[in-house]
A = this chain, B = another copy of it.
Amino acid sequence: MAEKKMVNAITDMDEDFAQWYTDIVKKAELIEYTSVKGCMAIRPYGYAIWENIQKILDGMFKETGHENVCMPMFIPESLLEKEKDHVEGFAPECAWVTVGGSEKLEERLCVRPTSETLFCEHYKNIVHSYRDLPKLYNQWVNVVRWEKTTRPFLRSREFLWQEGHTIHATAEEAIEETERMLNLYAKFCEDALAIPVIKGRKTESDKFAGAVSTYAIEALMHDGKALQAGTSHYFGDGFAKAFDIQYANKDNKLTYPHQTSWGMTTRLIGAIIMTHGDNSGLALPPAVAPIQAVIIPVAQHKEGVLEKAGELYDRLKKAGLRVKLDDSENSPGWKFAEYEMRGVPLRIEIGPKDIENGQCVIVTRHNGEKSFVKLDELETAAAEKLQAVHDGLYRKALENRERRTYACTSMDEIVKVLSEKGDGFVKAMWCGEEACEDAVKEKTGVGSRCIPLEQEHISDTCVCCGKPAKHLVYWGKAY
């Protein structure tokens, strides 16, 4: 019966990328749909990826001096309204609690779409003196945004995330924090998820509601669409003024502090799928793979095979790998396909012949490469192979991005290159005017993704209006 559940039912990614994505999240058992539109049940295999993401990121936050806290999930309407831009940005997508128990509430409560307002209220209670600064906080929570169209991980009404919130004595410190966290996010994506990213600043029209400036990391998916993988906001003292947060500085003068916030979400799992996956299924970066190596005994009914497979399992487990031994009754062929689908970085095969030769076979998921490994070199070989998978995934993703990044000097060129070569990042110069930003989107279909921190000079003039250019911008279609 289990044998029926073969993996060849995934849609071809080049035929229908959206359906391929949906097939993967369901068939690799990452999520299951629920009767609540836009809210998903995250299944053990999907949640284990998130746990690994959490563990690594949380360690990085703590190393940089951040502490975890937990604010309430409800925001009274009057609190949300205190910062004008912020409420304008978020109110349209809030879910509202209006009844508690059997009584209608006097004031509606919004289910947090983000928690700046709650942190501000808290800061006002606990920040009084320069000695109380900085506060470097983070929380791992669920948030709700009432999206109209939803897709698992990429855009769901409820999602899981971390939101960092910090408050500093000076603008300089807050700006430094904003940049530190952007860099930390980029490093995490590259080192843990094997996803290369572009670090940049969002244009004015694309900023977070209430921010002075918003920074983001942008990744390019397999299909050439961009995905914003993390954001880091600098707020100046705008929220402090709106919430009347002041501290006594060293001269005992009341002063407005400066704030930041930054976040990454379960959307990263979507980014992993669309960056590394292929027509055999998921391909997981070793750092966050729930299973890093699966051991599959071949001819397991033969004497000594299961015993030897068990030995390998014990050794790899002891070496610190997340390893699984599948000694179920399914055929090796079925197992090969199943763990490919699930994106397990290494498959280790061991059969009677291998035992005779004092070896096993290691197959790396991302390229299907097969190696014979001496049994007494198992631990070293497995570690090297995991590194090779990480490096291979990263290289492949980077090559995809480079192949799909087009420098353009005119709108016509943008339209032409996209229609000829398919979606991707367009690098083009911009004068800084919102009208031109809108015109590029309307006429070419690609919107501004970010103003990269690493600027290049492609031409002197704005790709739209021909006036002097101020910035190089990455443009693209976005998830």
Contact = CB atoms under 8 A, between A and B. Distances in A.
A73 B158 contact: yes
Given A35-B76, A47-B70, A50-B70, 9 more contacts: A34-B121, A36-B109, A41-B69, A73-B142, A74-B95, A94-B101, A99-B108, A100-B146, A101-B148
A97 interface: yes
B97 A69 contact: no
A69 B93 contact: no
Contact of A32 (B39, B48, B111, B125): B125
A111 B129 contact: no
A249 to B, nearest CB: 13
20 contacts: A32-B125, A34-B118, A34-B121, A35-B121, A36-B72, A36-B75, A39-B72, A41-B69, A41-B72, A41-B118, A43-B69, A44-B137, A73-B158, A93-B101, A94-B101, A95-B100, A95-B109, A96-B98, A96-B99, A97-B97
Contact of A95 (B32, B51, B99, B122): B99
Interface string A410-452: 0000000000000000000000000000000000000000000
Interface in A1-55: 1-2, 32-36, 39-44, 47-48, 50-51
A68 interface: yes
A96 B94 contact: no
Contacts of A157: 100
A131 interface: yes
Contact of A142 (B94, B108, B142): B142
A357 interface: no
Contact of A71 (B34, B51, B94, B96): B34
B98 A92 contact: no
A70 B41 contact: yes
A458 interface: no
A325 interface: no
Contacts of A144: 73
A126 to B, nearest CB: 6
A79 interface: yes
A41 B158 contact: no
A68 B48 contact: yes
A72 B141 contact: no
A67 interface: yes
A160 interface: yes
A205 interface: no
A149 interface: no
Number of chain copies forming the complex? 2
A158 to B, nearest CB: 6
Nearest to A139: B47
Interface in A96-117: 96-102, 108-109, 111
Nearest to A102: B92
A71 B33 CA distance: 10
A382 to B, nearest CB: 22
Given A92-B102, A129-B1, A131-B1, A47 B68 contact: yes
Contacts of A70: 41-42, 47, 50, 160
Nearest to A143: B73
Contacts of A79: 35
Nearest to A39: B72
A381 B35 CA distance: 57
A73 B41 CA distance: 10
Contacts of A141: 142
A47 B137 CA distance: 11
B142 A71 contact: no
A255 B294 CA distance: 33
A42 B70 CA distance: 5
Contacts of A69: 41-44, 47
